[in-house]
Amino acid sequence: MKKIFVDTGITQNRFLVFEDEELIDIYIEDISYKKLEGNIYKARVENINAYLNIAFLNIGEVKNAFIDLKEAPNLKIGDEIIVQIKRDSEGKKAHKASSRILFPGKKLHLLVDIKDIKSPNKEIYMKVKSLFENNIKENYGVLVEAEDFNTEELINEYHSLIEKWENIKDKANYIKAPYLLMKSKDYISKLIDEHINGSECIELYFSKEKDKALFQKYIDVINFNVSIDIINTIDNSILDTMKRKHFLIGEANIVMDEVEAFTIIDVNSGNIDYHNAEIKSLMEFNKLAAQRIFRLLKLRNTGGIIFIDFVDVENKQKQELLNFIMELSKNDSNISRIYGWTKLGVLELARARKGKKLKELIYYDYYKEILNPSYVLKLIENKCLYNKEKFLKKEFVVSIPQTTFELSEKIGFKDKLKKELDIELKFLIEPNIINYEFKN
C-alpha cells in the first residue's frame, strides 16, 4: 500500500511517498528558486574561455550556462546550439549545459544523437537490448531504468518520443536564440509518472482542498483525502531524514557528514550482543547498515563522492559485503560508480548530482541548525494555516531574521498569504532570531 502526502505552498511544494509505512521518497520543489535542470534551450554562444576550454551560453535566463568545448569543439561566438541544463547554478557559478540531450519519457529516456542502449541494471539492460537491437534508429538510443514495462508499450513510447523530439528540433530551426524549447517536469508530473501511473492501492492525502481538486483533473479512481494534520508528518519525516545520527539497533548507529566536496558515513556497532540480538553477526549488521545508508542517500539526494566506514570488515568478508552493496545500488539509478575499498578499508562510491540536495532545500547552515529562508516561510505558512483550521485564528505576528524578510518581500509572501488563505501576517525583524518565532 502506497500513501502519498502532498503539501503545496507559496515558497515550496512537497510530496512524501510511503510504501508499507516506510518512507521511500521525498521531493521538494522550491518555487522561490527557479530550477532549470532538465530544461532544453536553443542557446547563443556569448563568450569562449580557451583557458578553461568552455563556452558561455546565453539561454535567456538571469545567469548564463556553460558547455565543455570537448562536446562542441567548433563553437564560435554568435553560434546557436540546442542544449540541456544538466546542473543548476551554485552560488556565482553558471548553469552546466550539455549538447547531449536526454529526452524524458515515462518508462524510458531518449538518447538524442547517440545510437546506444543503456540501463543501470544489468538484468533490465539484457531485456532492453534484446527488445531494441533490431528496432533502434540511427540517431536515437534509449535509457531504461524502470523494471516493470510492457514491451509493446516501450517500443511505442520510443517512437512517440522520437516524433516529439523531432517536432521540437523542427521548431528550433525557425526560432532565434535564446529560447526555452522544453521545460522539465513539475512536481505534479513527477509524482504521477514516478509513483501513481501503473501503481495500485494508493491513498493520496492533501493539506489543502484546492490541491485535491487539481489532482482529480489528472487522476481517476483513487482514494483522495484532505487533512491539515499531514503537515506535521511531512515536517517530522523530513527533519528525521536530515538528522546527523541515525540509530539502527539499540545504541548502534550511522553518522552522516555532508561537506562541500564529499560525504563521510561512519557505522558504529555500539554494544550489540550478537547472541541475543536479531542480528547474529557483524556481517549481518553491516548489511543492515548498508540498507539504511542507501535509503538515506536516495531520500537526501546526496551527490558526489561518498565514503562509508563499516565496522571491522575483514579482508575475506569484503567481497561478500561489496556484492551485497552492488545489488543495493541497482535500486538507485543515481549511483554512478562503486570504486570499492580504499587502502584504509573504507568503501568509496559516487552518486550523480541531480538537482539540489535535501540539505540545501531545508538548511542555510546545517550544523548551526539555521533553516533556509524559503523553508522558514513554508513552516510559517503551515503553522498559520493549521491555527486557522483548528482555532479559527486569522491574524499572526512572527519574528524573523533579515534574510527571511528579504525573501518574503521579494516574492510578496504576505500578500499571497492574504489572497490565497485569508490570513493577515505581520513580520518583526529581530537579529537574534535564528529561524522564526510566533508572538501570538
- Taking only the tens place, the pLDDT of each residue in 287-307 is 999 999 999 999 999 989 999
Above pLDDT 70, what percent of the chain? 95
Predicted local distance difference test score (pLDDT) of residue 194: 74
Residue with cell string 491555527: 387
Eight-class DSSP state of 223:
E
Q: What percent of the chain has pLDDT over 90?
A: 57
CATH 3.30.390.30 fits 40-98, yes or no: no
Confidence of residue 175 (pLDDT cuts 50, 70, 90): very high
C-alpha to C-alpha distance for 420 and 81, rounded to whole angstroms: 41
CA dist 99 and 75 (Å) reads: 12
State the Cα–Cα distance between residues 163 and 215, nearest whole angstrom: 28
Which is nearest to 4 in space by CA: 184, 334, 233? Answer: 233
Which one-letter amino acid corresponds to residue 312? D
pLDDT by residue (tens digit) across 22-35?
Answer: 999 999 988 877 78
Residue 276 pLDDT level (bands cut at 50, 70, 90): low
CB–CB of 420/381 below 8 Å?
A: no
Q: What residues have CB less than 8 Å from 175, skipping those under 6 apart?
A: 42, 181
Confidence (pLDDT) at 232:
94
pLDDT value at 201 more than 80: no
Tens-place pLDDT, residues 121-147? 777 788 888 888 777 888 898 888 766
Higher pLDDT residue, 193 or 112?
A: 112
Any idea which residue has 533553516 for its cell? 371
* pLDDT above 80 for 240: yes
61 C-beta neighbours (distance < 10 Å), count:
18
The model's confidence at residue 118, banded by pLDDT at 50, 70 and 90, is confident
Assess whether pLDDT exceeds 60 at residue 221.
no
Please give the pLDDT value at position 148: 66
Please give the average per-residue pLDDT across 107-133, as a whole number. 82
**Residue 391 CB contacts under 8 Å (≥ 6 apart), including other chains:** none
- β pairing state of 223-226 and 202-206: parallel
Q: For residue 334, what pLDDT is reported?
A: 80
Collect all residues with Cβ–Cβ distance below 8 Å to 255 and sequence separation of at least 6.
244, 245, 246, 265, 266, 268
What is the rounded average pLDDT of the residues 116-125?
78
Average pLDDT in the 66-82 region? Answer: 93
DSSP 8-state class, residue 211: H
Res 352 pLDDT > 90: no
Q: Which residues are within 8 A (CB) of 389 and not within 5 positions of it... i.e. 6 or more apart? A: 228
Q: Residue 149's pLDDT band (boundaries 50, 70, 90)? A: confident
User: Where does 60-150 have alpha helices with state H?
Assistant: 122-132
Close Cβ partners of 152 (under 8 Å, ≥ 6 residues apart): none
Hey, how many other C-beta atoms are within 10 angstroms of the C-beta on 99?
16
What fold, for 243-351? Aminopeptidase (3.40.630)
Contact between 211 and 220 under an 8 Å Cβ cutoff? The reply is no
The residue that leads in pLDDT, 99 or 193, is 99
User: Can you give the pLDDT at residue 122?
Assistant: 74
Per-residue model confidence (pLDDT) at position 388? 95
Question: What Cα–Cα distance (Å) separates residue 345 from each residue in 257, 288, 292, 309, 318?
Answer: 18, 18, 20, 7, 9
How many Å apart are CA 209 and CA 186, to the nearest integer?
20
Architecture of domain 2-33+186-237: 2-Layer Sandwich (3.30)
Write the pLDDT tens digit of every residue in 381-430.
999 999 999 999 999 999 999 999 999 999 999 999 999 999 999 999 99
**Average of per-residue pLDDT across 210-216:** 82
Region 17-24: mean pLDDT is 92
Strand order in the sheet with 437-438: 424-429, 395-400, 437-438
In this predicted structure, the answer to whether residue 85 has a pLDDT above a threshold of 80 is yes
Q: Indicate the pTM of the whole model.
A: 0.79
Segment 176-192 mean pLDDT: 84
